[in-house]
Amino acid sequence: MPDVLKSLFPTLSRLRFVVQILTLFITVWGSTVVGYYAAEKISTALPSLSCAYDKNNGGYCVLIPLQHQMHHRIGESLVKAQQITQQVVLPTLIALGSFLIFFAILGKAFCGWVCPLGTIQEWINKLGRRFNRPQHQLDNTTAKRARPVKWLILLGLVFLVPILAGMGIAPHSMGNPYCDICPSRIATTLLTGDPEQIALKQTSTGSMILSAIANLLTGFTLIGALAMRQPFCRICPMLAMNATFRHLSLTRLVKIENEKCDKCGICTKACPMDIPEIHHRHGRQAFNEDCTLCGRCAEFCPDDGIIQVKFGPFALFSSRRDYYKNRVKVESPDGMPKPLKFVRKPVSHGDAG
């Protein structure tokens, strides 16, 4: 980083913290600055959980237009096959194309740096650690077993169920089922002072069940974040979407093979997603499907240039031993803050009086 940026942001985490604050403001309250209609034109396809139910939002995530396309375009057009080209292919390609344009630039960093729900979970976890709440880390087996859940949610609730609703097989109220259970819908709208989304919907039995699931899932996510890093991110369908295209993005994680690797395991300990592969895989395989490109593995790697966050051919951040030494003075790799040390000044005989 340039010297000016280094003075302003001595650590990568500090820079990410500032980015999270700015993007949280934009994604949750952005339209209060530029107006709702202007904000809607800025983006309707962010690769992060920026909720469209938030009336003050400055742009919302790709999952809601995708569900709408599955429901109103693909599902209905399968019944009217002659309208497929006009009503299915083009609108869906536009939604996916907008997503891919965003994703080509920052890639999975949208999860680790921009997503408001990810930011909220991370800050709640920091609060839990400050109050010495017991912390839980997933072991290798559990972390791997949790991975299929995000794919099932993506395929089932974002694609399949909306298509069935459009075809008339599933109830019309199931047109966007993922948004009906998404904890970001409740968490971010509450931040704007809007309690409407937390109320149980009573328009139909299905709507009531989905809204009850949403409240439970939100509660478990927010409370669970006190004792676990990024609990919902592990099953988030947006993470699955981003994982599908992660090797197409200019921004990516690179790990160079080194004889010292696969010994200390500090990078896995530092990873908020408990990814076990990062410390013994290299090259493309090190860029795991659960990675959110937060950069903590690079921050806490004790060797020079082994783990890098790159944009195209350029290294945005590289692991460095001197950086690691300074980093662990204030925080351990697992995120626990180091206690402040107070040095007692010796009292001279003249001061003793």
Beta bridge partners of 331: 337
> Mean pLDDT, to the nearest integer, of 246-262?
85
pTM (2 decimals)?
0.75
Q: Is there a single domain that holds both residue 103 and residue 177?
A: yes
Given this model, what pLDDT does residue 5 score?
67
pLDDT at residue 264 is higher than 70: yes
Given this model, what pLDDT does residue 188 score?
93
Q: Is there a single domain that holds both residue 36 and residue 176?
A: yes
Q: Which of 352, 335, 343, 341 is nearest to 122 (CA)?
A: 335
Cα separation, 208 vs 186, in Å, equals 15
Q: Largest Cα–Cα distance of the chain, in whole Å?
A: 98
Q: Which of 309, 337, 351, 320 is nearest to 113 (CA)?
A: 309
Mean pLDDT score across all residues of the chain: 85
Given this model, what pLDDT does residue 352 score?
41
Q: Is there a single domain that holds both residue 272 and residue 149?
A: no
Between residues 30 and 272, the one the model is more confident about: 272
pLDDT at residue 266 is higher than 80: yes
Lowest mean pLDDT among 31-35, 255-259, 319-323: 31-35
Given this model, what pLDDT does residue 351 score?
45
Beta bridge partners of 309: 253, 317
Answer yes or no: is 107 within a domain: yes
> Mean pLDDT, to the nearest integer, of 204-232?
93
- pLDDT tens digits for 144-202? 899 999 999 999 999 999 999 988 998 888 989 999 999 999 999 999 999 999 998 88
Structure token pair of residue 97: 């194309």
- pLDDT tens digits for 99-156? 888 888 888 899 999 999 999 999 999 999 988 888 888 888 888 899 999 999 999 9
Q: Is there a single domain that holds both residue 216 and residue 316?
A: no
Q: Is there a single domain that holds both residue 153 and residue 42?
A: yes
> Mean pLDDT, to the nearest integer, of 266-271?
90
Q: How sure is the predictor about 347, in pLDDT bands with cuts at 50, 70 and 90?
A: very low
Given this model, what pLDDT does residue 61 score?
85
Which domain covers residue 96, as residue numbers?
Answer: 3-240
Q: Is there a single domain that holds both residue 233 and residue 121?
A: yes
pLDDT at residue 317 is higher than 90: yes
The CA–CA distances, whole Å, from 98 to 34, 45, 61, 93, 313 equal: 21, 6, 11, 8, 24
Q: Pick from 240, 267, 291: which residue ends a domain? A: 240
Cα separation, 174 vs 67, in Å, equals 10
Q: Pick from 184, 218, 240: which residue ends a domain? A: 240
Answer yes or no: is 185 within a domain: yes
Q: What percent of the chain has pLDDT over 70?
A: 89
pLDDT at residue 41 is higher than 80: no
Q: Pick from 178, 210, 240: which residue ends a domain? A: 240
Structural domains in the chain (count): 2
Q: Is there a single domain that holds both residue 162 and residue 268?
A: no
Given this model, what pLDDT does residue 29 score?
87
pLDDT at residue 55 is higher than 90: no
Between residues 17 and 102, the one the model is more confident about: 17
How many C-beta neighbours within 10 Å does residue 243 have? 20
Q: Is there a single domain that holds both residue 204 and residue 257?
A: no
Overall size of the chain counted in residues: 353
Answer yes or no: is 245 within a domain: no
186 with 197: CB under 8 angstroms?
Answer: yes
pLDDT at residue 238 is higher than 70: yes
Q: Is there a single domain that holds both residue 235 and residue 124?
A: yes
Q: Which of 300, 240, 289 is nearest to 264 (CA)?
A: 300
Given this model, what pLDDT does residue 10 score?
83
Q: Is there a single domain that holds both residue 12 and residue 77?
A: yes
Q: Is there a single domain that holds both residue 31 and residue 66?
A: yes
Given this model, what pLDDT does residue 335 score?
78
Given this model, what pLDDT does residue 87 score?
63
Q: Is there a single domain that holds both residue 348 and residue 316?
A: yes
Cα separation, 93 vs 222, in Å, equals 34
Q: How sure is the predictor about 54, in pLDDT bands with cuts at 50, 70 and 90?
A: confident
Enumerate long-range contacts of 135-141, CB under 8 Å, 24 or more apart. 135/227, 135/228, 135/229, 135/334, 135/335, 135/336, 136/227, 136/228, 137/228, 137/229, 137/274, 137/334, 138/228, 138/234, 138/274, 139/274, 140/276
